[in-house]
Structure 1
Amino acid sequence: MKVLVIGGGGREHALVWSLKKSPAVTEVLCAPGNGGIAEIARCLPVDVNSLAAMVALVEAERPELTVIGPEVPLALGLVDELERRGLRVFGPTKAAARLESSKAFAKSFMQRQGIPTAAYAVCSTLDEVREQLRRFAAPVVVKADGLAAGKGVVIANTHLEAEQAAAEMFSGALLGTHEREVVIEEFLTGDELSFFALCDGKRAVEIASAQDHKRVGEGDAGPNTGGMGAYSTDGLATPAMREWLLKNVAQKVVDGMASEGTPFRGILFCGLMMSQHGPMVLEFNTRFGDPETEAILLRMETDIVDLVNASIDGTASQLAVKMKPGASACVIAASGGYPGKYVPGKVIEGLRPNGSREDLVVFHAGTAAKDGQIVTAGGRVLAVTAVAADLRAALDKCYAEMGKISFDGMHFRRDIGHRALR
């Protein structure tokens, strides 16, 4: 089977790596890919913001399966266009992807379907923001309605800060795009949990749980990023809690989307706060997360092609996802200045050859090949990922490997997994 992966980050490198292991796969392509992916798959240039360009590429290559990694192609409707042409594709339709592409839609959907989430208000003007803020105690959360690459959430310590954040979202000053709506949300405390389920339009099946580290600085300080590291263990949630989340969150999403005429197929990422009032949904992603995917796929023993086929063919109820016991961890090496401005093109030293170890993989998130060398080409550059019998051992492997790698301005968090280790 010839498989095409759309995307070019650490998540896509992990997807390509997993697909390459499947006996059902004969060739893996990736578009646009990156410097690391190019070492194990044929990379093709494409603009992932252009629906026409992506459709043309798939029609030209005619893969037996297309796997979509990032959120933008899903929000643009790439699944719809490929299905319309009779092509096999993994991911939700544009309408189903609104669970991620519109925070306002997701909140109202959860309210309609009785899925636990924080109190909220949707505002389309600054006057509405000022009026609605009276309902919320500080701190308060301000969210951009649309896609924001993990950077559209501001935790405001005062109402004035919240108003300023909303103003910057409306004007485009914060994200570079003008938001038509912002969501004001109750601030919740507790431990965050990422719960992943495979969905086939009728049934949700648990894959695994992970915990992401969004803040750039150690001790969860500084601004939000796309994720500075993640870990996945057997003990992140009890079996009873995992069963509850599957029944009361993931399956409710599948049932609700089906009842509203937009069946959900693909990966459902449930971002949760384990609050004093119980689990509360912070957000949905309609694809594998990043960097959680790197950690999860290194643990997953089930053939990823079986996962994809079950979603497309409606046979998820027959699937039992098997994970390696123990733990996995992923630590991100980022460019100097990230999540703000950074300068690409820095030569990366000390990279291990791809495929040299099964228990330790350096996935490339933002790299390029230039003059025979691998250079930085993004904010998040590398995802050093390891699996071991326990979390401490997995992290020790990650940090030992990170110590061999260097590039100008490189920074990373040294406290990934700190909550679990406490």
Structure 2
Amino acid sequence: MKILLIGNDGRTHALAWKLINSPRVPEVICAPGNGGTAPFAPSVDLDVADAAGLSRWTFEEQIDLVIPASSAPLHTGLVDEVLMLNIGVWGASRRAASLERSRCLAKEFMLRHGVPTATGRAFTDLATAERYLATLPLPVMIKTDHPSGGEEIFDDRYAALEGLRRLFAARSLDGGEGVVIEAVLQGPRVALSALTDGRTAIPLLATRLYDRVEEGDRGAQACGVGAHTSNSIFAQRLTRYLHEKFILPFVAGLEKEGLPCWGLIGVDCVITAEGPRATALRFSFREGEAQVVLPRLEDDLLPWIEASITRRLHELPPPAWTTTPSVGLGLMARGYPNFFPTGGQIRGLEDIEPGVMIFHSATTNPAATAPYMPRALRSRGGSADALSSMIGGLLGMGGSPQGWSGLRTTGGLVATVVAQGISLPGARGRALINADRVQFEGRIYRSDIGERDFG
């Protein structure tokens, strides 16, 4: 089986590792991958924004399965294009994925289908938004329609009105205008993802996410700072609750509104004093979430993906999970997410203890990178890189394969150290010890990740 995995971050690395260790030993090609995937998966440079061109490439290269690690390819219509060529693709249609791209659409969808969310509404008319803003108690949060536009919290009514006008004018990537005005939510951030075939949904693990770069949830907001899963009674109940109250209405709403999705869906929540409240809907893992969830999945991932595409999820038994909690520490360059050094050499991977994973997010390893060989060249006597399927099991474990000497940073979130343990404190302790062994210029990480369960 030939699989095209699209992405270059930690989610890509985690998915590649899980797929390459399938008993079916598939050929995994990364577009483009990173320094972590380089030793075992050939890389190909494709224009991910060109959905039609990418789908033609998959047809010409006889790809059996296309898996986007992030939602970006979904927004360009990749699933719609690939399906027309009768190639397997794991993901949401462009219309469904718009719920992640537009906060206004997502807010209205959640209100229509009873997904618990913060008190508030979406607006595409400024005058109506101004009148509504006057009715809400302070503090209030105002979000731009597109997530890249940002969000702000206001404690002053006049400042909120000025902020509303400024944020409303921030045009989304699709050219639309609009804002979401809602009450401010306080509490820990949690994500739950699920596999779906458009009718059935299979929950994964509730994951505590950390999105502030400084200890105690302070400092700049950034993705991939840290994450953990737990096996406590509370964590198990939380997973069931989020599945019943958030994921199932999400899937039912997609089916009712004719929004096809054969892949991964997810809900981001804040656990408030009144209970969990959804802040976003999505169609891919969160950065950090995949890294701590997939190592706990004991099953082969491929049958689950195939069942999602063929609408057979209801035929499979519940997924099997390890009983060991997992903690992921994001290794960041000082200054992330704003200004940070890049190009520094990464050292210490050979000192990582067996069983601890290092999932790369922003690295390059030219010495180990093997370009994908097109079928046209193979037919003229070329050969595929047979080594790729042989060393997949060594990925990220203690005893790194040769070639790590050329590994360098390319961004602010460099990698995630993931450890499991009998208890959450035990997993956290292993993660901290091994995170300290990895060195690069300006390396920082939060030491309080996993300090408490979901509090």
TM-score (norm 2): 0.85
Partner of 2:118: 118
Q: 1:394 aligns with which of 410, 414, 427?
A: 427
Counterpart mapping for 1:13-32 below 5 A: 13-32=13-32
Contact kept? 1:195, 1:270, Cα under 8 Å: yes
The reply on whether 1:61 has 2:61 as its aligned counterpart is yes
Q: Deviations over 1:87-140 (max 9, x none)?
A: 101011111112211111111111111221112232346655543322322322
Distance 2:417 2:209 in 1: 14
Contact kept? 1:385, 1:398, Cα under 8 Å: yes
Distance 1:377 1:200 in 2: 36
Give the aligned residue type for 2:286: G
| Greater alpha carbon shift after TM alignment, 187-196 vs 383-392 | 187-196
Q: Secondary structure at the match of 1:214?
A: strand
Distance 1:293 1:79 in 2: 21
Counterpart mapping for 1:323-334 below 5 A: 323-334=321-332
Distance 2:122 2:336 in 1: 30
| Greater alpha carbon shift after TM alignment, 163-172 vs 45-54 | 163-172
Q: Deviations over 1:277-334 (max 9, x none)?
A: 2222111111122111100011111111122112111111223111100200111111
Partner of 2:96: 96
Segments of structure 1 that go 5 or more residues without pairing to the other structure are: none
Q: Deviations over 1:194-246 (max 9, x none)?
A: 11211111111111111100112111112211130000112274544433332
Partner of 2:361: 365
Q: 2:193 aligns with which of 175, 196, 202?
A: 196
The reply on whether 1:351 has 2:334 as its aligned counterpart is no
Partner of 1:224: 221
Contact kept? 1:169, 1:177, Cα under 8 Å: no
TM-score (norm 1): 0.91
Distance 1:344 1:179 in 2: 35
Counterpart mapping for 1:1-16 below 5 A: 1-16=1-16
Distance 1:278 1:251 in 2: 17
Give the aligned residue type for 2:51: L
Q: Secondary structure at the match of 1:331?
A: strand
Distance 1:128 1:335 in 2: 43
Give the aligned residue type for 1:322: A
Give the aligned residue type for 2:177: R
Partner of 2:267: 270
Contact kept? 1:200, 1:315, Cα under 8 Å: yes
Partner of 1:416: 449
| Higher Rg of the two aligned structures | 2
* Shift, 1:168, TM fit: 5.5
Percent identity over the alignment is 31
Distance 2:18 2:147 in 1: 27
Contact kept? 1:199, 1:311, Cα under 8 Å: yes
Partner of 2:337: 339
Q: Secondary structure at the match of 2:452?
A: helix
Change (3 A) 1:410 1:245: same
Partner of 1:76: 76
The reply on whether 1:299 has 2:296 as its aligned counterpart is yes
Q: Deviations over 1:151-203 (max 9, x none)?
A: 83434444455456555545659x99976222112112233321121111111
Q: Secondary structure at the match of 1:96?
A: helix
Distance 1:350 1:124 in 2: 51
Give the aligned residue type for 1:368: T
Distance 1:167 1:349 in 2: 48
Partner of 1:256: 253
Change (3 A) 1:288 1:170: same
Distance 1:238 1:414 in 2: 21
Contact kept? 2:19, 2:26, Cα under 8 Å: no
Distance 1:208 1:89 in 2: 23
Give the aligned residue type for 1:275: T
Partner of 1:385: 418
Change (3 A) 1:315 1:82: same
Q: Deviations over 1:22-54 (max 9, x none)?
A: 012331111011111111211111233332443
Distance 1:165 1:271 in 2: 25
Root mean square deviation of aligned Cα: 2.5
In the comparison of the two structures, how many residue pairs are matched? Answer: 417
Distance 2:159 2:435 in 1: 37
| Greater alpha carbon shift after TM alignment, 122-131 vs 335-344 | 122-131
Give the aligned residue type for 1:325: T
Give the aligned residue type for 1:284: L
Distance 1:341 1:24 in 2: 43
Distance 1:210 1:154 in 2: 25
Q: Secondary structure at the match of 1:242?
A: helix
| Greater alpha carbon shift after TM alignment, 381-390 vs 7-16 | 381-390
Contact kept? 1:141, 1:187, Cα under 8 Å: yes
Partner of 2:210: 213
Change (3 A) 1:285 1:18: same
The reply on whether 1:288 has 2:285 as its aligned counterpart is yes
Change (3 A) 1:176 1:253: closer
| Greater alpha carbon shift after TM alignment, 179-188 vs 14-23 | 179-188
* Shift, 1:415, TM fit: 1.0
Distance 1:26 1:92 in 2: 23
Segments of structure 2 that go 5 or more residues without pairing to the other structure are: 368-404
Q: 1:316 aligns with which of 292, 313, 318?
A: 313
| Greater alpha carbon shift after TM alignment, 383-392 vs 139-148 | 139-148
Q: Secondary structure at the match of 2:254?
A: helix
Contact kept? 1:215, 1:227, Cα under 8 Å: no
Partner of 2:232: 235
Q: Secondary structure at the match of 2:244?
A: helix
The reply on whether 1:39 has 2:39 as its aligned counterpart is yes
* Shift, 1:406, TM fit: 1.5
Q: Secondary structure at the match of 2:268?
A: strand
Higher relative contact order (CA 8 A, sep 6+): 2
